[in-house]
Amino acid sequence: MPGGCRQELGERFQDTVIKEVKEETNLDVKEEDLELIDIVSGTSRRNDYPNGDVVINNIVLYCIRNYSGELKWNLESKEMKFFDLGNLPENQNDPDLIETYKNFIKKCKR
């Protein structure tokens, strides 16, 4: 899942999402195509950095159903592609976010 920790001072979440998706995937997203899933916070979002810093990130998770452009990754990514929810790779970096997304999709199908 593309994401980033670089929200500029005063920047709206929606603008940050659009910017980060473009930077990390080369895909273009419009604000009207963003659907808020949840705000995820707490100890599952703890990151310990090599320099000793410890942070708890607050994640604003969006579903993007429409986009344009060609999927390409940058230097931050090893590989990038779309996966079926029933066939996700093992060893995910953000299992809590993936579970939040799966729960969101289940609710949408009702």
Answering whether pTM is above 0.75, one says yes
Domain ranges of the chain: 13-109
Name 96's Cβ contacts closer than 8 Å, sequence gap at least 6.
Answer: 40, 44, 45
Position 1 scores a pLDDT of 76
Distances (CA, A) of 22 to 2, 3, 12, 17: 9, 10, 16, 8
Pairwise CA distance, residues 80 & 45, whole Å: 22
Q: Are 27 and 67 in contact (CB under 8 A)?
A: yes
Q: Coil, strand, or helix at residue 69?
A: coil
Position 30 scores a pLDDT of 96
Position 80 scores a pLDDT of 79
How high is the mean pLDDT in each 10-residue block of the chain (110 residues)?
A: 78 92 91 94 88 90 93 75 83 83 84
Position 8 scores a pLDDT of 83
CATH 3.50.50.60 for domain 13-109: no
Position 33 scores a pLDDT of 95
Distances (CA, A) of 67 to 33, 34, 38, 60, 64: 8, 10, 20, 19, 7
Q: Coil, strand, or helix at residue 81?
A: coil
